[in-house]
Structure 1
Amino acid sequence: MGWFQYLVLFVLFHLSLAAIRMSQPKILLPFHPRIETNFTLEATDGCFTWSSSRPDLVRIDPIGEFSIKNGENCSLHANIIAHTKQSLRSSATIYARDILTGQSVRCDVIIDKIQTIEIIYTTTRLYLEDAPELFKLRAHDQHGSTFSSIEHFPFEWKLLNAAIVNEQNVKKSASGTLDATKVIRILRLTDSSYEMSETVRNLESHGSLSYEILLEGLRTGSAFVQAEFIDNDLYHGIRTKPVRLSVSANVQFYPSTDVYLLPYSRLAFRLYQIKRQESTDITDLPSTRILYEVKLINNDAGYLDDKTLIFTATDHADEQSRLELIDRNMKAIDNETYEPTSLMIRIVNIGYLSAITNSTRPWIFQIGSYYLITVEMFDVNGRKIYPTDNLDLSASIPNDLHKTCLNLKSLYKNGTQYILRPNCQGRFEIEFHLNGMKNNNVLELLTIASTKQWFEVYLPLAVQPKRVLLPEKTIVKEVKTPYCPIKVLGGSGDYIFTSRDTSV
């Protein structure tokens, strides 16, 4: 073997050493005299034998597929099980040795008592007739460090009436719990499509609740959720702080995000109720005005017609206002913490126009096909401007000779979308112009903005002949292999040929 081969093997060997690692360098497991807690470790890029520096504290159970190399069993994964009987803080080290290279990686395991638990959530606002939200528990030791796993412990989850709960104390009340269960329902993960570990599934199959649950809104209102250990000795009395939850109908503005408008814009906001990912326009229902209030916080950016919900922008830029959607029921139930749905309205000047198309290749068209062209507006900072109905955009074909070759039709009165059908082959141009804003048949002039867009039109691709029949390839050397020339028409002239079956 030459020096180059030795060099390659040397580099590959050291690269394999550098790639070996442990999934977690350190884990914190909770102590319990009767419940064994475990955590799955993974060592990558190798096959490993596992050992513990303190088998009396931490036991190892290798899992996964085993391979026999050099006469040893090895695996990529192992369950690390804390089974110490002493409540004092203790630690051990887990080693994973790659049987091929002999390199070892380690993980430090700390075992300690749980001091506090807290509820982890994405949102505290639940919506009626919506998918349930996932709530989890997280545990900490006396130093505030987070435990790696508490999924083996059963917990009691409670729903408490918001009227009898404050931040300092949670008073026990059967009537309070009963009221709360009319507002929110606790669901097990096994009653849903959520993924869960076998440990959680096993706990729920025996009638217990784990460290994670689902909460579903039943009716408009407010309630608290709280969890505590089901433990009569070691962790007795350890519970979370109550978390306030609100349940309401999912009613949103349309448009639902912050909007950037040109001066003189007129935008009609709508209210949509969302149920199971289906939306219904409820703006004009009589009950909507009773249940909800739409309020413009200030008139800097323009003014709002309370009856029609039409917002009219001011005549100059650099102004903003906040629009709020207030649920009257939720505000009455929880006036102190209720936060209405809101969005910002910002008035900006036009920066530039841009056109986009739905063609497979941008601005490459073929004769006879139909294409959608959309004109978009942006301010000088690249923020997209909302196209209101009173916008006045136009498109033109500057070359008179090209007008017979291009069939261009506007889809909307504001000129934001067009259907194009090219009839000739060649290179063409379309110009788009911002003319202003129309209000009561009066055109309000804005800063001039326009853009030009060039595109190419080709004949549709065609292959001649469409079907080829060739005799089977002969084994006689004197006879040439049969072939058929293929002619391609249309397109740009740059072709890439491929075969679905090269053996044929």
Structure 2
Amino acid sequence: MLVIERAVWGVLLMSSLITLSKSTKLNVPKLLLPLSTRVPVNITLTAQRGCYKWVSFKPETVRVYPLSALSPPALLPLSSCSQQCLVSALSSPQAVPLRTVVQAQDPVTGHILRCDVIINRIESIQVVTTIRQLFTNDPPLQLSVRAFDSEGNTFSCLAGLKFNWRLAKESDAIQAVRFVRHHDAGYAPPPHILSLEDAGQWGESVLLYGIHSGSALIKVSFLHPEHKHVEAASVTLFVIDRLHLSPVGDTYLLQGSTIRYTLWKTEQEGETEVTLSEEGYSLVVDGYKGRMYDHDIISVEQDTATVTALKLGHATLTVTHNNLPPQITSQLPRTSVYVVNPSYMTLSIKEEEDRWVLETGRQYYLTVRIHDNKGHVVHLSQNVVIVVEETEGLVTLESLSDPACHLLQTIMKGKTLIQALLYSIVSEDGECWPVIPPIRVQQEVEIYKPLTLQPSVIVFPWQPHNKLYQHNIQVEGGSGSVTWEVSDREIATVTVKGVVIAGKRRGHAEIRVSDSKNILHKVVGKVMVVRPARLQLIPQRGDCRVGDSIDIPFALWGIQDPPNTCSQNSNLFSETHNLQCGESLLEDRNLVLVTDCSQLCLHIHTEPAGIFTHMSGSLSPGAGFCGGVRMGALSRGHAVVTITVEIEGCNISETTTLVAYSPLKSLVSEVLLSVGSSHEVIFEGGPQPWALAPLRFFSDVEVQPEGGVTVEVLSPAKAMPARYAYQVTCTAVGEQWLVFRCGNTPGPLNEILTVEESRVQVACGVPAGLSLSLLSSPSSPSSVHYSCTQPHYPCGLLSVSSTRDATLQLSVFDQKGVQFDNFTSCSVRWTSSDPGVLSLSPQFTMKVDDRLTQTGYKLHAWQVLQAHGQTGTVTVNATLTCPEMLTAPVSQCVNLRLVDDVQWTRHSVTLFNHPKVTENLTLIHGSGRFHAHLQDNQLASINQENSNVIQVSPLQTGSSVLMAHDLCLTSDPAVASFLVSDIKDFQIDFISNIEVRHSAVVRVRVLDSNNQPFLHHYLLLMNLMLIPSSSIISVEDMGPVDKYSVGFRVTGLTVGVVSFHLSAVDGHGFVISSSHKNVQVYPPFSLQPHKLTLAVGSVRQVKWEGGPHPQYGVKFSMSDSSIAVVTEIGLVRGVAVGVVKLRAAPQTQNKEASLIFLQDEVEVEVFNLTAVRIQAPLVTLSVGTEVCPSHAHYCCLHPCFCCQERFG
């Protein structure tokens, strides 16, 4: 099976090779080679593809040599297989033409390629060239020889044959052209041409240059005599200079103006001016030569090539040459000249591309153009008079020889006008041709200051994982509207407002800013994103007060990446990129100062902690620094601050020392002393000595002016650290300033002088007034938040407790009302007007001590007064005597009223939680100065209308304690329980049974959260309503019944059972209802019969109807039981003759209810029976019938009364 597959693949491969070989062709199917006895003529045959063995059918005439595929190819052995071969035609004595075949056979496929080869004699030659006209200094022109046999067939190759190329003697070609070798001209010819030229001979192809204008006849012939029968071939070439006239294009002139033309020749070295007369050229007007005529439009001066416009019209100027035929001279430059009238003028500034927005301090060339009525620009010669007028902001520095060009300079910012006028044209003979009317042009110009950038260079630090930097560039100058452009957006971008944003790649880019009104006005800045390399802290101040802050600016230097480094093209934030930092790596690198590093990723460490802390935010860049941190002073002390810039791969750190101190202050701002007394003045805080430079610390104290006081420095043991204590003693009356200073002189750690100053005024005075006040007990709550108002008039009235001792406090003041800090050099005497009520302490010792006042600690004298449980008013007097007093001693008295402790008139208070509720509470006894408050002030608001009436309004439900403090006494507060409550329940007292058309009173109470009734005036706010379920009863509001109740009158209208409930509205507007109560309305209670007559000893039944239901029974009673008696069931029995009243009252089953119902009564008459008369309807009866007597009449002794009883 495998053998079969290989055979199939072999057949397929062979088939493919055969197909490819059959499609292969030779580069030349037929060759015509010249017969040469001296030199064999060679040509190369090449197959398109494949490898072949080459064979010549007549090797004696034509030989084939296999060639390699190298360049240049090399000869191979004759039996070799190759893609190309060399065919060489040999000389032969046989007659020509000779014919043979060169065959190529593929040794694999057997495919054959053949080429017919003919060898014949050359009969004629021809010179072949692409053009016959060439310009001087153009690339060389190639001339080739083409050979033909007798039948005009072209020979395939002339390689190896020598030719004689020459210039005809009858022409000036020696001056027009010259031959040049291929190698000298920089061309690579075929090898046989190169070998002939190296030997000083020429082959079938030559090169020649055109060097001068003219014509040249080139001839060529065979050099060997065997081809002497072949006539020479020739070709005529024309050489022309590459010329052009200046100015180029059509020219428009004003009548009387001139223009000078220049003829330029283009050469390899550049352009050179051609002198017309010297090089045979001339400038003529088409249509005539020589002398001009009056009707001519222009005239030409040949020596200077100057054209003068004579009259309106059109003429054509042409360049001619004496040695060139007409067909060649027609290709020389020509131009048209138009003589026109001026129509209007235009202005332009070439530097600004006709944008009329200029910059101050610059020079501009103003071009004035004159146009004809068709808009063509007129050439202006020097005899055209144009005036440019100077305007504000512009100065004409120079009007050049060209009247169209004027040099201007801008001198100031603003808007101005440029004005130009065409007045006249002056001819060479001085004749003036005025332009009537003069042509004028105006152009408005805006002038601005040049654009500048601040800063012009921005350097950002590269931080791949941090917030991108932004920095604002200020643009100064210009029109105010600019456009921004960045050369590399990966490095930085810029917004329309000039905010430069760092990109995500290191490198540098240009920021180009253009004025929107003139994009040619530009300024270029630079933005760089560099790798941080070095950090330097630049603290200007090393210490500050606690609570203040110190700014630590720092400068950051970055390293520019070398150009074309991998970091520029690699991943933007490659984690494996190895950053380098530190000064040791900066030897061969340029450091640049970073502009803005305010967003650096910093780590700030302080040692020890707690003295300084890093405050949020960062410093904005400034002069000499790119950012910084702000450290806030928390407490006194020295701290070492380390700032580290964290970047990938390494960290850069710098340290500095900071000191925090408390503000320098004195404990008192002024001191008032009596002569002979002293006071300690203490200063604390201020700058402290530096640990590394303690000798730079200084402190001193000074009295200004000197005299009046003495100052003694207290030992450090008497002063705390960071305190400076001085003993000041008054020696004479007067005022001085005690000035204290301390600080550190400038040094390496603190470049700014740190010094603080504090002043204390020391006054030595004479006491002029006293003040007596009560000293509150420290345990008294009133002394904590409130104080008793002291009287400000002599012998003012103060209240004290009649059961506790009181302490009077003495303060001394000068004539200005300033309190003395020390008056121990003076003596004090105390007296009481009624020692039996209030007496001085038995020890009679006065104490002195400093107490805190609104102006600081002041010296006070204390005197204890003893109360004896009696009320009344006592006057206490204090007299002060000082040695320096020249007048009478100073005294002060105070009236003390002894009172009982304060109390509430009510010991408990309950408020209904309603916004309209306000309760007035009254305090009794005490001093009259009170402060009331709740322990829980969220329950109610308190308003103290006067000294003893407290107004309370509820806020929310709850219970608390209401306290009242006596501000002038040290007694315990008056306490009352306090409750704010919503409606909890109802208490309804009522009669459950009501006789119809009668009324009963329903008494209602509303209960609080403690099940206690609210006062009746709160019930008026509750909108109480008694609501029946039907119209059996009617309800009428009766108003308050007692202190806690309100009543409703309920009247029974019809007999029946009805329910009712009570509704109320609480303080939140919600309706609250009671449970339902039942009431029975019963019919009237009555007895039957209404009058009862019975005989003595007889018994009769009394009936009743009506009353409540169910009933327990009816209670009967007789007014006189000796006449008649009644049983419990209403049986009446006569006992004796007489008349009595029988009363009956129903009873309910509720035995607990002590309710009284209505009763009824009947009259009972008891008589003696005297006769009985039966009245019947019949007296005769039939046997067997029955009849019942209908009535029986009882006759008694009463003359007008007879009883009757019905039977049956």
Q: TM-score range by the shorter chain?
A: 0.5 to 0.7
Match of 1:357 in 2: 349
Counterpart of 1:422 in structure 2: which amino acid?
T
**Structure 1 residues 487 and 360 mapped into 2: Cα distance closer, same or farther (>3 Å)?**
same
Structure 2 residue runs of 5 or longer lacking an equivalent are 1-26, 35-40, 55-65, 72-82, 90-96, 100-116, 492-504, 507-528, 530-1208
Matched position secondary structure for 1:359: helix
Q: TM-score, normalised by structure 2?
A: 0.27
C-alpha separation between the residues in 1 aligned to 2:272 and 2:245?
Answer: 11
**Structure 1 residues 423 and 180 mapped into 2: Cα distance closer, same or farther (>3 Å)?**
closer
My pick for the range that moved more, 407-416 or 229-238, is 229-238
**Structure 1 residues 240 and 455 mapped into 2: Cα distance closer, same or farther (>3 Å)?**
farther
Match of 1:466 in 2: 456
Match of 1:322 in 2: 317
Match of 1:311 in 2: 307
C-alpha separation between the residues in 2 aligned to 1:387 and 1:208?
Answer: 59
TM alignment of 1:370-389, pairs within 5 A: 370-377=363-370, 385-389=378-382
- Corresponding residue to 1:343 among 334, 356, 361: 334
Contact persistence 2:424–2:432 (CA under 8 A): no
**Structure 1 residues 240 and 415 mapped into 2: Cα distance closer, same or farther (>3 Å)?**
same
Contact persistence 1:422–1:457 (CA under 8 A): yes
C-alpha separation between the residues in 2 aligned to 1:378 and 1:134?
Answer: 45
2:412 aligned with 1:417, yes or no?
Answer: no
Match of 1:214 in 2: 208
Counterpart of 1:487 in structure 2: which amino acid?
Q
C-alpha separation between the residues in 2 aligned to 1:467 and 1:419?
Answer: 34
**Structure 1 residues 228 and 411 mapped into 2: Cα distance closer, same or farther (>3 Å)?**
farther
RCO greater where, 1 or 2, for CA within 8 Å and sep 6 or more?
Answer: 1
Matched position secondary structure for 2:486: coil
Match of 2:1156 in 1: none
Residue 445 of structure 1 deviates from its aligned partner by 3.2
Contact persistence 2:32–2:156 (CA under 8 A): no
Match of 2:167 in 1: 159
Match of 1:404 in 2: 392
C-alpha separation between the residues in 2 aligned to 1:369 and 1:252?
Answer: 36
Sequence identity, in percent? 17
C-alpha separation between the residues in 1 aligned to 2:187 and 2:482?
Answer: 52
Deviations 1:78-123 (A, max 9, x none): x9999799999xxxxxxxxxxxxxxxxxxxxxx9999854333473
Matched position secondary structure for 2:483: coil
**Structure 1 residues 405 and 433 mapped into 2: Cα distance closer, same or farther (>3 Å)?**
same
2:258 aligned with 1:266, yes or no?
Answer: yes
Match of 1:497 in 2: 486
Match of 2:298 in 1: 302
C-alpha separation between the residues in 2 aligned to 1:233 and 1:155?
Answer: 12
Match of 1:437 in 2: 425
Residue 213 of structure 1 deviates from its aligned partner by 1.1
C-alpha separation between the residues in 1 aligned to 2:470 and 2:217?
Answer: 79
- Corresponding residue to 1:36 among 31, 36, 43: 43
Residue 416 of structure 1 deviates from its aligned partner by 0.8
Deviations 1:395-453 (A, max 9, x none): 457xxxxx222234453355211223333445555355554533224124389866655
Residue 225 of structure 1 deviates from its aligned partner by 2.0
Contact persistence 1:424–1:457 (CA under 8 A): yes
2:380 aligned with 1:391, yes or no?
Answer: no
Match of 2:218 in 1: 225
Counterpart of 1:437 in structure 2: which amino acid?
I
Residue 138 of structure 1 deviates from its aligned partner by 6.7
Counterpart of 1:320 in structure 2: which amino acid?
A
**Structure 1 residues 487 and 231 mapped into 2: Cα distance closer, same or farther (>3 Å)?**
farther
Deviations 1:34-89 (A, max 9, x none): 343799xxxxxxxxx9659x999xx999999xxxxxxxxxxxxxx9999799999x
C-alpha separation between the residues in 1 aligned to 2:399 and 2:85?
Answer: 67
Match of 2:965 in 1: none
**Structure 1 residues 270 and 361 mapped into 2: Cα distance closer, same or farther (>3 Å)?**
closer
Residue 135 of structure 1 deviates from its aligned partner by 1.7
**Structure 1 residues 487 and 414 mapped into 2: Cα distance closer, same or farther (>3 Å)?**
closer
Structure 1 residue runs of 5 or longer lacking an equivalent are 1-25, 40-48, 65-78, 89-110, 164-178, 398-402
C-alpha separation between the residues in 2 aligned to 1:453 and 1:233?
Answer: 84
C-alpha separation between the residues in 2 aligned to 1:442 and 1:357?
Answer: 29
C-alpha separation between the residues in 1 aligned to 2:139 and 2:183?
Answer: 14
Contact persistence 1:29–1:37 (CA under 8 A): no
Contact persistence 1:428–1:455 (CA under 8 A): yes
C-alpha separation between the residues in 1 aligned to 2:488 and 2:325?
Answer: 69
**Structure 1 residues 152 and 263 mapped into 2: Cα distance closer, same or farther (>3 Å)?**
farther
Contact persistence 1:303–1:313 (CA under 8 A): yes
Deviations 1:134-178 (A, max 9, x none): 222378899x9x999999997653211235xxxxxxxxxxxxxxx
Matched position secondary structure for 2:385: strand
**Structure 1 residues 83 and 445 mapped into 2: Cα distance closer, same or farther (>3 Å)?**
farther
**Structure 1 residues 147 and 411 mapped into 2: Cα distance closer, same or farther (>3 Å)?**
farther
Counterpart of 2:140 in structure 1: which amino acid?
L
C-alpha separation between the residues in 1 aligned to 2:421 and 2:399?
Answer: 16
Counterpart of 1:489 in structure 2: which amino acid?
E
Match of 2:534 in 1: none
Counterpart of 2:463 in structure 1: which amino acid?
K
Name whichever structure is richer in strand by fraction.
2
**Structure 1 residues 279 and 222 mapped into 2: Cα distance closer, same or farther (>3 Å)?**
same
Residue 280 of structure 1 deviates from its aligned partner by 5.6
| Aligned length in residues | 397
Q: TM-score, normalised by structure 1?
A: 0.56
Contact persistence 1:301–1:320 (CA under 8 A): yes
Matched position secondary structure for 2:382: coil
Contact persistence 1:229–1:236 (CA under 8 A): no
Counterpart of 1:418 in structure 2: which amino acid?
H
Counterpart of 1:136 in structure 2: which amino acid?
Q
Counterpart of 1:488 in structure 2: which amino acid?
V
Contact persistence 1:30–1:150 (CA under 8 A): no
Contact persistence 2:418–2:443 (CA under 8 A): yes
TM alignment of 1:110-125, pairs within 5 A: 116-121=126-131, 123-124=133-134
Deviations 1:374-411 (A, max 9, x none): 334555666654332223344457xxxxx222234453
Match of 1:43 in 2: none
Match of 1:45 in 2: none
2:267 aligned with 1:277, yes or no?
Answer: no
Contact persistence 1:225–1:243 (CA under 8 A): yes
C-alpha separation between the residues in 2 aligned to 1:271 and 1:396?
Answer: 36
Matched position secondary structure for 1:191: helix
Contact persistence 1:183–1:247 (CA under 8 A): no
C-alpha separation between the residues in 2 aligned to 1:141 and 1:488?
Answer: 78
Match of 2:474 in 1: 487
My pick for the range that moved more, 194-203 or 183-192, is 194-203
C-alpha separation between the residues in 2 aligned to 1:27 and 1:362?
Answer: 65
For the aligned residue pairs, the C-alpha RMSD in angstroms reads 5.9
Matched position secondary structure for 2:183: helix
C-alpha separation between the residues in 1 aligned to 2:283 and 2:144?
Answer: 39
Matched position secondary structure for 1:120: coil
Residue 243 of structure 1 deviates from its aligned partner by 0.7
Deviations 1:243-263 (A, max 9, x none): 144689x99866576644333
Which of the pair has more CA radius of gyration? 2
